[in-house]
Amino acid sequence: MTARTDTPSAGWRDWLTTDTPHSRAQARLGRAWAGWAAFRRNRLAVAGLLIVLALVVVAALAPVLAPYHPYAQDLNGRLLPPSAAHWLGTDAFGRDILSRLIHGARLTLMIVALVAATAPLAGLVIGTAAGYFGGWVDTVLMRITDIALAFPKLILALAFVAALGPGIENAVIAIAITSWPPYARIARAETLTVRRADFISAARLQGASSLRIILGHIMPLCVASLIVRTTLDMAGVILTAAGLGFLGLGAQPPLPEWGAMIASGRQYVLEQWWVAAMPGFAIFIVSLGFNLLGDGLRDVLDPKGD
């Protein structure tokens, strides 16, 4: 006799992996399940996902997880090394570095979320419009894109922040303004590959407007590539924000932004190394997590991949 395998989990798995789905929802869920199965086979990608999820959890539970208030000063406990009372030591004002890193995760996540919600969307609109309409529209939009790409991102962000004034809000605006050109390039390339496709011609013959074709048929095909590029770019966004904070043009004291924390500890780097090393290590870990996650998503979402 053979053991029964008709468990609820096996039934759901068979329903998701069937070759003959009975609805669009089943087909979409099946594709999502197949993508997740491929993603979780990449251990480095799963590690990157766990790092990003940890960042989200730490940011959400910062008041609970932080052992001290991030702004609480103790001048009698300045520059203390890591110990049982202060796991990562204290800074020049006696503030607990661990607590400031935990609360700084909120600022990092806010910057990442705002840039990810604005720059790819702007690039998607510009790239699909340029690729679909072509002609002078393509020429004008792509020459603007080329001009933006000609400048190093950090230098261009410095120029915008200098014009707008220091502050984390202006830093986010500057980073978003300087981040959209690569997304426009990707969206344009994807659009050029499908604008002459039969289904686009069929939609046009049925009377669909250019706006409806772009929104309903072309943009959804560009989303996968943009998601991958966005995830990979988040490490650069974090480093750019940290660079602006290090130069005093990003988050202003006493905000616990990681780049500003490194700047405040650079004069103690030889003797009290933990003041600058701990926020630098946090930037390294989070940037590595986004890079690993982006590599895993690229393997899953890129239809041209192996």
Residue 298 Cα distances to 46, 75, 225, angstroms: 13, 49, 8
- CA–CA gap between residue 238 and residue 105 (Å, rounded): 11
Burial of 84 (0-12, 13-18, 19+ CB in 10 A): exposed
Residue 236 Cα distances to 177, 239, 241, 276, 301, angstroms: 14, 5, 9, 20, 21
- Of 249, 104, 246, 257, give the one whose Cα is nearest residue 173: 249
- Of 116, 97, 4, give the one whose Cα is nearest residue 52: 116
- CA–CA gap between residue 218 and residue 216 (Å, rounded): 6
Q: Please report, for the chain, how many H helices and E strands are present, in that order.
A: 13, 0
Average pLDDT of the chain to the nearest whole number: 89
- CA–CA gap between residue 167 and residue 17 (Å, rounded): 50
> Is 229 strand, coil or helix?
helix
Domains of the chain: residue spans and CATH = 42-66+92-301 (1.10.3720.10)
**Residuewise pLDDT in 10s, the chain (306 residues):** 444 445 666 677 777 777 777 777 777 777 878 888 888 899 999 999 999 999 999 999 999 999 999 999 998 999 999 999 999 999 999 999 999 999 999 999 999 999 999 999 999 999 999 999 999 999 999 999 999 999 888 888 999 998 989 888 999 999 999 999 999 999 999 999 998 889 998 998 898 899 999 999 999 999 989 999 999 999 999 999 999 999 888 888 889 999 999 999 988 988 899 999 999 999 999 999 999 999 999 888 865 544
pLDDT tens for 29-41 read 778 788 888 888 9
- Of 178, 192, 189, 296, give the one whose Cα is nearest residue 239: 178
Q: CA dihedral in degrees (298, 299, 302, 304; nearest 10)?
A: 140
